[in-house]
Amino acid sequence: MSTLFSPIELRGLKLSNRIMVSPMCQYSADDGSANDWHFTHINMLALSGAAMFCIEATHVEDIGRITPGCLGLYSDANEAALKPILASVRKHSKAAVAMQLAHAGRKASSQRPWEGGQLIPISAGGWQPVAPSAVPHKESETAPTALDEAGLTRIRNAFVAAARRADRLGIDALELHGAHGYLLHQFLSPIANKRTDRYGGSLENRMRFPLEVFDAVRAVFPDRKPIGMRVSATDWVEGAWDLAQTIEFAKELKKRGIDWIDVSSGGVSPLQKIPLGPGYQVPAAEAVRATGVTTMAVGLITEARQAEEIVSSGKADMVALARGMLYDPRWGWHAAAELGGEVSAPPQYWRSQPSTQKTLFGATTFGTR
């Protein structure tokens, strides 16, 4: 039997397989609100065969968006725009729906990637980013505003408010974005965090704000629903955030009841040197898993047998796919066919299964007259 297509439980959420569609920014929202692009994108990938689909980085305040086109959940309009999309998913898909809550910190007010991805100055329609310290992402950029106590409280409360909105929408699980150089990662990394108060300096202090955000969200999100976090296991910069510190962070999250850690890397510095290759982040996921926390492996996982080996060998409990899913929106179906697994599909598609895979969609029949 395929381990990839075996069930797993995350708190009270039962998943039929070990595959998640990774949160993937679409940079296509209107003032933070989802639109017809998101309707198409989300509904398409909710039928991928993955047991869980994670909505892209959804920002908890307007100035926390990476780009003007990024999704948010900070207003009634944002919440209302997601309702019909989720209703359609529930009607046609059995996939669990998670949402990644995020704040971009000093990487906010950026152009969309296909427009260059650089900082948008206020004079060109951007806004003033905030961060742990007044240290820009690039030396040539205007410095962000260092957060004071009132700012920290505002952002914690914004995560809480977004979590409550997500629950009202019926979201099954949350993932906090603590990776890729965004705000929570900025607090963790000594590259971005130069504070001298209780939120900076020692590892304990740098972990404090991300842990406070996790605790605050966990306190208001229903206990039966799981919460995970995406982390950058290393900054890929000498003397910065690294795997040893990530493991200590994972231990603290475990004490607080974290349900999974999604192990990525990089993003906090343009000086990073990443050795890209298939499954290049899997060793970090395996190291984090040794703490006893359920882990997801991510990063250039594209082949069914590659994913199977990762979970069957115990390197991670689940895999999360991004680019592979965009290229092949039925990746889960094809992986199941290759590995002898089974996936859920709407009856309108049952006739698509290959003649050699009669049980791909279970014991289905399709009669005609």
Q: Yes or no: say if 209 and 241 are a contact pair by the CB < 8 Å rule.
A: no
Region of residue 86 (phi > 0: left; psi between -120 and 50: alpha; otherwise: beta): alpha
Q: Yes or no: say if 106 and 135 are a contact pair by the CB < 8 Å rule.
A: yes
Which residue among the candidates 27, 182, 199, 327 is catalytic per the annotation?
182
Diameter of the chain measured on Cα atoms: 76
Cα 247 to the center of its chain, rounded Å:
19
DSSP state of 132: S
Report residue 259 as tokens. Answer: 């349900």
Residues 119, 107: Cα–Cα separation, whole Å: 8
Neighbours of 62 (CB within 10 A): 17
DSSP three-state, residue 62: helix
182 labelled catalytic:
yes
DSSP state of 280: T
Neighbours of 15 (CB within 10 A): 21
Q: Which residue spans within 29-182 are E strands per DSSP?
A: 52-59, 96-102, 130-131, 145-146, 173-178
Q: Cβ-count burial of 227 within 10 angstroms (0-12 exposed, 13-18 middle, 19+ buried)?
A: buried
Q: Cβ-count burial of 78 within 10 angstroms (0-12 exposed, 13-18 middle, 19+ buried)?
A: buried
HSE at residue 227, side-chain half, CA atoms within 13 A, is 26
In DSSP terms, 142 is beta-bridged to none
Report residue 127 as tokens. Answer: 């806004």
Question: How many degrees, rounded to 5, is the angle at CA 202 between CA 200 and CA 203?
Answer: 100
Question: How many degrees, rounded to 5, is the angle at CA 296 between CA 111 and CA 263?
Answer: 50
In DSSP terms, 33 is beta-bridged to 30
Residues marked as catalytic: 182
